[in-house]
Each structure stands twice: as C-alpha cells, then as structure tokens.
Amino acid sequence: MSQLSWVLLGYRTLQNRPKAGSLAQWFLLVVCCMVASNTTPHAYAQQQKEIRVAAAADLQPVLPVLAADYEKLTGVRLVITFGSSGNLTTQILNGAPMDLFLGADFVFPEKIVAASLADTTAPTQYARGTLVLWARKDSPLQPITLDSLVDKRATSIAIANDQHAPYGQAAVMALKRMHMYDTVKPHLVVAENISQAAQFVESGNAQLGLISLTAASTQHFKDTGTFVRVPTSSYAPIIQCAVVMAKSTQKTAAHAFLDWLLKPEVQARLPEMGLAPVK
C-alpha cells in the first residue's frame, strides 16, 4: 500500500468515528501508518542483499552452516543450489543466473573461465576434499576395511557418477589403482551426485558407499555408521575451486564471501566439517 493510501485510510477511519478528534490526533495516526508502510517484510526483503550460489553436492552438509554464520555477520543471504559440479557447470554455460560457483574440483570451474563467464583468469581454491568408504553400523560387513569392497557379501556399492561428479571420478580412479575396479564394477550403484550416493548407503539401498568426508563427518552419519579413508595416493587430489560470474550484479558481494571463506579462522573450521583447508 502506498503512503497516500495510508493517509486516505487514516482520514476515512477518523471520519467514521464519532467526534473524530483533533487535527493532532489525525496527524499522529497518519504518521504511524506511513511508518508501518515502510517497515513491511516485503520492504525488508528488498533491502537485504542476496548471493545466488551454485554449490557442489559435497558441500550440502557444510555450506548452510557457513552461510548462516555469514548472514548473521554481514546480513548477506546465500541462496544455494546444490548439484554435481558437472551438471551445475552445464546450467551456468546455458545461462543459469548465478553469482558464485563453488565446485568440487578445478576442472569444472576452469570450464567457466574458458567460456569467459568468470571475472577472473583462473579459479580460486577454497578447500580440499577427501574420499571415504562408509557403511552402516548394522551392516554384516562390519568392521569395514578397504578389503570390504571385494568381500563376496558386498553386492551393492554406491558411488557418484564419474561423468560429472569429481568424487565419482576419484572413486573410479581409486578402485582402478587399488586393482578392485573389475571386481566391484558389477556391484556399483551409480548416484547422480555424491550427496545422493551418501543417501543410498545411509538408507540401506547400498551396503557400502564411496562418499565424501563432508557427509561422513555429520553427526547423523557418525551415529549410524563408520568409515575408513581411501588412501589419497590412489586418486588425484580433490582441489575444490570457485569462480565469480562475470555478468553477476553482485560481484562485490560474491568476492567478499569468497574472501571470508579463505580467512584463517574460517579455514580452521573446515576439518571438523570434512574439508581440508587450502594451506
């Protein structure tokens, strides 16, 4: 409602009252109405700054926590879309309106740079990822080891799609370097992204899962299962990188969040969430 509408409403309200009251009373009511019209939730939402973030699925347990802290600190809200790095890259290349892309590797953000859609000449590393093997505590394969992957009782093993999920690529590489791939290939349950792979094994739809440490580090996964780390020597480093979109109208805000993410005090929190800091 416009301020003029509030004025007319206040005037009509006083007109309909017996002995409408003094001019001062009328003026006071008008002022109150005008103040109310300027402090509606809609007006507040318009004033609040938002950053549209495309985020790799391994960040699903991590980013909402960091985003809430950042909003409390700065008032800037992150509107997050999660998915596999490959699928998010395709969406951005096709024109999806994003301000910031937090990928799970270097390769997919580099594709954004190569397409001249980023405002820098190279992606910015913000963390490093870790691959783990996870199983429910009630699994007959407990206690799990890496040899559980080739146990004859293991008939379903969840991994992310290696075509567009960096953690899926790491899982396939690790299985091949550990000389297990040919044995486990018939038992692989391929998920759309690493978050879905974690859901498959957590729900019991797969007996084992090669998932991110970010998922395995959540309290729920600690309570319901156990994990062992996959040797980092068996897969290429998962170097997680970000780019800010060149056409973003919130480039300054996007860079400010990325700078905050790289602060020593924030980087120091990453290990408890399943990510390794940049340095």
Q: How confident is residue 39, by pLDDT bands cut at 50, 70 and 90?
A: very low
Distances (CA, A) of 116 to 100, 111, 123, 133, 261: 14, 9, 12, 37, 24
pLDDT at 253 over 70: yes
pLDDT of residue 31: 37
pLDDT of residue 26: 40
Q: How confident is residue 3, by pLDDT bands cut at 50, 70 and 90?
A: very low
The pLDDT > 70 percentage for the chain reads 83
What is the arithmetic mean of pLDDT over 11-16?
A: 47
- Please tell me the total number of residues recorded for the chain in this structure: 279
Tell how strand 100-102 and strand 77-83 pair up: unpaired
Mean pLDDT, the chain, integer? 88
What is the arithmetic mean of pLDDT over 95-122?
A: 97
**Model pLDDT for residues 154-188, shown as the tens digit of each residue:** 999 999 999 999 999 999 999 999 999 999 999 99
The side-by-side arrangement of strands in the sheet containing 131-136 is: 188-191, 157-160, 208-212, 131-136, 225-229
pLDDT of residue 279: 78
- 135, 208 in Cβ contact below 8 A? yes
Return the closest-CA partner of residue 28 out of 16, 19, 18, 36.
36
**Model pLDDT for residues 55-93, shown as the tens digit of each residue:** 999 999 999 999 999 999 999 999 999 999 999 999 999
Sorted by sequence, the CB contacts under 8 Å of residue 68 that are 6+ apart come out as none
DSSP string, 167-199: HHHHHHHHHHHTT-HHHHGGGEEEESSHHHHHH
